[in-house]
Amino acid sequence: MQKIVECVPNFSEGKNISVIKKIAAAGKIKGVKILDIEWDKSHNRSLVTVVGSPSFVFDSVFSMIKIATKLINMEKHVGEHPRIGATDVVPFIPVSGISIKECVALSRKLGKKVAKELKIPVYLYESSATKKERVNLADVRKGQYEGLKKEIQTNPQRKPDFGLAKMHPTAGAIVIGARKFLVAYNVNLNTKNIEIAKKIAHKIREKNGGLKAVKALGFLVNGYAQISMNLVDYEQTNFDKVYEEIEKEAVIMKVKIKNSEIYGMIPLSSVVSAIKETFKAEGFKEDQILEKRLYE
């Protein structure tokens, strides 16, 4: 099976479109596809979504970081969103035929190269973190660019994973890591009673002893009670399982599921896994999907 990885580098530029375009253009190399470019003026921040074979995505992302290092000056950066560097965060995300472990290795390799060739200190986060205190992005980014600049040389706890304990004079520092693909999934109930959605969300989320790797909140959306979820590891709990559990709870609460929404992108393996489970089709494989074979 072909290995496919996604990477979504975040850059501290959300106003100057020509800079954002130059960064994305640097990432547009053979073997990858730029799926999306987003920016936000008040955050003064942009995201580029790149997908493809691991080695090509690696090269694409390094090119973008290199250009961003030249074009973005953190000494002049103002924006609402927390940030510590010109290229702020770089998550590698497994999509198909690749493990989170391989994505961790990829993130470490990129970290080393960035530190060595671009002289930027690198922190590893999420699955790539080397310490508990660096798993969460918010912890790594504490004090932001300005705060880290003061602390990095003196506080040993803030020593980077790669590179010297010294900010790059204009590009600051970078957080690199690997995390699982996040599936955004909502279930709407045929009731206006938001309390029911909140109760079900409470019941099914991992935090309260519910389903593994499920984050859930109750909302009122377009006049219907909605359970809005992030499935942070669909290999542990996929959307079919979530639907089934919500259906059970709905019966107890005497309401019905109106509909559900898969929000944004989803890996083929999540869809195939839902088919396997729902129709007891254990032998079903991604390779049986004609379109997949077409492009191998």
Three-state DSSP state, 287: helix
Per CB under 8 A, 221 contacts a copy of itself: no
Q: How far is the CB of 81 from a copy of itself (least distance, A)?
A: 25
Per CB under 8 A, 78 contacts a copy of itself: no
Spacing of C-alpha 207 from chain mean position: 20
Q: How far is the CB of 19 from a copy of itself (least distance, A)?
A: 25
Q: Which is nearer to a copy of itself, 86 or 187 (CB)?
A: 187
Per CB under 8 A, 22 contacts a copy of itself: no
How far is residue 179's CA from residue 204's CA, in Å, rounded to a whole number? 22
Say which residues have a Cβ less than 8 Å from residue 44's Cβ, sequence separation at least 6: 12, 13, 14, 15, 77, 78, 79, 80, 81
How far is residue 178's CA from residue 180's CA, in Å, rounded to a whole number? 7
Per CB under 8 A, 272 contacts a copy of itself: yes
Q: Using the rule CB under 8 A, which residue among 20, 95, 182, 229 binds a copy of itself?
A: 95
Q: Which is nearer to a copy of itself, 41 or 293 (CB)?
A: 293
Residues 25-44 that bind a copy of itself (CB under 8 A): 33, 35
Q: Using the rule CB under 8 A, which residue among 51, 68, 178, 196 binds a copy of itself?
A: 51
How far is residue 145's CA from residue 228's CA, in Å, rounded to a whole number? 33
Per CB under 8 A, 58 contacts a copy of itself: no
Per CB under 8 A, the segment of 60-68, 105-113, 129-137, 285-293 that binds a copy of itself is: 285-293
| Site size with a copy of itself, rule: CB under 8 A | 42
Q: Give the max Cα distance, the chain.
A: 61
Q: By the 8 A CB rule, do 62 and 50 touch?
A: no
Per CB under 8 A, 282 contacts a copy of itself: yes
**Quick one: tokens of 9?**
């580098």
Q: Report which secondary-structure segment, H or E, holds 92.
A: strand 87-96
What is the residue whose two structure tokens read 């009122």? Answer: 220
**Residue 81 annotated as catalytic:** yes
Beta carbons within 10 angstroms of residue 269's beta carbon:
18
Q: Which of 43, 81, 168, 202 is catalytic?
A: 81
Per CB under 8 A, the segment of 99-107, 172-180, 221-229, 277-285 that binds a copy of itself is: 277-285
How far is residue 100's CA from residue 2's CA, in Å, rounded to a whole number? 15
Per CB under 8 A, 232 contacts a copy of itself: no
Binding pattern for the stretch 233-262 against a copy of itself, x by CB under 8 A and - elsewhere: ------xx--x-------------xxxxxx
Return left, alpha or beta for 223; rule: phi > 0 is left, psi -120 to 50 is alpha, else beta.
Answer: left
**Quick one: tokens of 175?**
């957080």
* Catalytic residue list: 81
Residues near a copy of itself (CB under 8 A) are: 4, 6, 33, 35, 51-52, 95-96, 239-240, 243, 257-262, 264-268, 271-272, 274-275, 278-284, 288-296
